[in-house]
């Protein structure tokens, strides 16, 4: 239907995008590369525009979202932009009292601990994230033929923040809740699935070319608990958004979970540095592309070390049906941005030559 922010610019032509081709397991001129957390504290130009502006406030200003999203594309020549936002932003947008504390992460004022608390969590109306619609349209108009990746948090990872009240090493309150109050747990995950689906649908309607669902902390779960208590709700998100754009699904520490995660319905499976890409690809089978998986901490080692790793990862990825080069998790804040630029250039050079 018509949208009040419909821009007059032409749609992007992504027929030649290596990222989209790799996600669809089609031939590529070179391995596409982008970095989780490519926008952020590793960039001086990011720290500059964030002076005096709170993180979540900055995510609600389309002008700042556009600028910050474009910064790593200009600097590193990555094959995709990722929308500058956060997995907890939709929760703030629907009225959950939360903050992102620098160096800590999301902190929730009133954590969810009971079925009654769950029943208070509202659903999301697309109008509550109209600033996302505006930012994506502005970005798509400015990105030329570079694709924009949209994203959302998966229900388990969001639930962990809501129940623990903040970042957690052991997720003990979350696991107690999911096993002791299964009805309330499924109610909570169903609500989070609605929120993340709506958030993604707004981004897709506004023109993102791919989406990534972050289930960063899913690796804390056993395979059985993941499949029974979590996966149906992640699968509901992939089902709700349909097949208009390629879908990437990422979690950390998922070596044993990869086949189960693949069953949730994405096209591309994100892999951290602990699992070799060809092993991951064999685990999920030929119907999936893989994404990853340079250890972000190795960017602090000598360049010869990084170069050897890049050559190994590109070669392993070329044996998979499709490969998007990335780190195994987000860029660490003290990373030298010039190293990231060199990584992009070397991935392109090595993969184009072979």
- When asked if residue 270 is in the footprint of ligand CP3 (CB under 6 A), the reply is no
- When asked if residue 330 is in the footprint of ligand CP3 (CB under 6 A), the reply is yes
- Catalytic, 86? Answer yes
d(CA 314, CA 333) in angstroms, rounded, equals 25
3-class SS shares of the chain: helix, strand, coil, % to 5: 50, 10, 40
- When asked if residue 103 is in the footprint of ligand CP3 (CB under 6 A), the reply is yes
- When asked if residue 36 is in the footprint of ligand CP3 (CB under 6 A), the reply is yes
Q: By the 8 A CB rule, do 164 and 111 touch? A: yes
Is 113 annotated as belonging to a binding site? no
Instruction: Work out how close the CB of 301 gets to ligand CP3 at its nearest, in angstroms, rounded to a whole number.
Output: 21
What tokens were used for 18? 């290596």
Peptide bond into 20 cis (omega under 30): no
Q: By the 8 A CB rule, do 71 and 39 touch? A: yes
Q: By the 8 A CB rule, do 158 and 30 touch? A: no
d(CA 176, CA 168) in angstroms, rounded, equals 13
How many other CB atoms sit within 10 Å of the CB of residue 340? 22
* Helix, coil or strand: residue 292: strand
- When asked if residue 265 is in the footprint of ligand CP3 (CB under 6 A), the reply is no
- When asked if residue 163 is in the footprint of ligand CP3 (CB under 6 A), the reply is no
How many other CB atoms sit within 10 Å of the CB of residue 288? 24
- When asked if residue 174 is in the footprint of ligand CP3 (CB under 6 A), the reply is no
Q: Which of 25, 46, 92, 161 is catalytic?
A: 161
Alpha carbon distances (Å) from 216 to 68, 94, 268, 281: 22, 22, 15, 19
Tell me how many residues contact ligand CP3 (CB under 6 A). 24
Name the segment binding ligand CP3 (CB under 6 A); options: 86-94, 131-139, 179-187, 295-303. 86-94
Is 38 annotated as belonging to a binding site? yes
Name the segment binding ligand CP3 (CB under 6 A); options: 21-29, 80-88, 127-135, 341-349. 80-88
Q: Which are the contacts of 66, defined by CB distance < 8 A and separation ≥ 6? A: 135, 138, 139, 142
Q: Which of 86, 130, 133, 215 is catalytic?
A: 86
- Catalytic, 161? Answer yes
Which of 41, 61, 186, 274 forms a contact with ligand CP3 (CB under 6 A)? 41
- When asked if residue 219 is in the footprint of ligand CP3 (CB under 6 A), the reply is no
Which of 14, 49, 55, 255 forms a contact with ligand CP3 (CB under 6 A)? 55
Which of 37, 61, 113, 311 forms a contact with ligand CP3 (CB under 6 A)? 37
Is 342 annotated as belonging to a binding site? no
d(CA 241, CA 55) in angstroms, rounded, equals 27
Which of 253, 77, 244, 237 has the alpha carbon at shortest distance from 153? 237
Catalytic residue numbers? Answer: 37, 41, 50, 86, 161
Q: Which residues carry a binding-site annotation for substrate?
A: 37-41, 86, 161, 216, 329
Q: Which residues carry a binding-site annotation?
A: 37-41, 86, 161, 216, 329
Residues that bind ligand CP3 (CB under 6 A): 36-41, 50, 55, 82, 84-88, 100, 102-106, 151, 214, 216, 330
């Amino acid at each position: 239907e018509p949208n009040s922010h419909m821009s007059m610019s032409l749609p992007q032509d992504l027929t030649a995008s290596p990222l989209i081709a790799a996600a669809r397991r089609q031939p590529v001129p070179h391995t596409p590369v982008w970095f989780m957390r490519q926008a952020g504290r590793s960039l001086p130009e990011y720290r500059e525009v964030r002076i005096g502006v709170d993180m979540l406030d900055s995510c609600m200003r389309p002008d700042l979202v556009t600028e910050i999203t474009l910064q790593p594309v200009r600097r590193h020549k990555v094959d995709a932009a990722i929308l500058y936002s956060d997995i907890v932003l939709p929760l703030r947008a629907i009225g959950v009292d939360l903050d992102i504390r620098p160096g800590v992460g999301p902190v929730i004022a009133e954590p969810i601990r009971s079925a009654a608390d769950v029943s208070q969590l509202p659903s999301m109306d697309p109008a509550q994230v109209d600033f996302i619609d505006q930012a994506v349209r502005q970005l798509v108009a400015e990105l030329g033929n570079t694709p924009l990746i949209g994203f959302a948090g998966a229900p388990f990872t969001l639930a962990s923040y809501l129940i623990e009240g903040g970042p957690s090493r052991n997720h003990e309150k979350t696991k107690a809740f999911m096993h002791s109050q299964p009805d309330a747990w499924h109610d909570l995950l169903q609500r989070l699935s609605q929120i993340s689906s709506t958030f993604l649908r707004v981004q897709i309607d506004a023109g993102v070319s791919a989406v990534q669902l972050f289930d960063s902390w899913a690796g804390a779960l056993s395979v059985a608990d993941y499949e029974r208590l979590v996966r149906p709700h992640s699968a509901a998100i992939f089902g709700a958004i349909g097949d208009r754009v390629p879908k990437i699904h990422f979690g950390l520490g998922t070596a044993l979970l990869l086949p189960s995660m693949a069953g949730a319905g994405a096209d591309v499976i994100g892999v951290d540095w602990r699992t070799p890409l060809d092993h991951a690809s064999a685990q999920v089978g030929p119907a999936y592309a893989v994404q990853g998986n340079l250890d972000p901490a190795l960017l602090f080692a000598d360049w010869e070390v990084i170069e050897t790793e890049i050559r190994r990862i590109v070669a392993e990825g070329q044996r998979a049906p499709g490969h998007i080069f990335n780190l195994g998790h987000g860029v660490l804040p003290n990373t030298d941005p010039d190293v990231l630029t060199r990584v992009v250039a070397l991935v392109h050079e090595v993969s184009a030559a072979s």
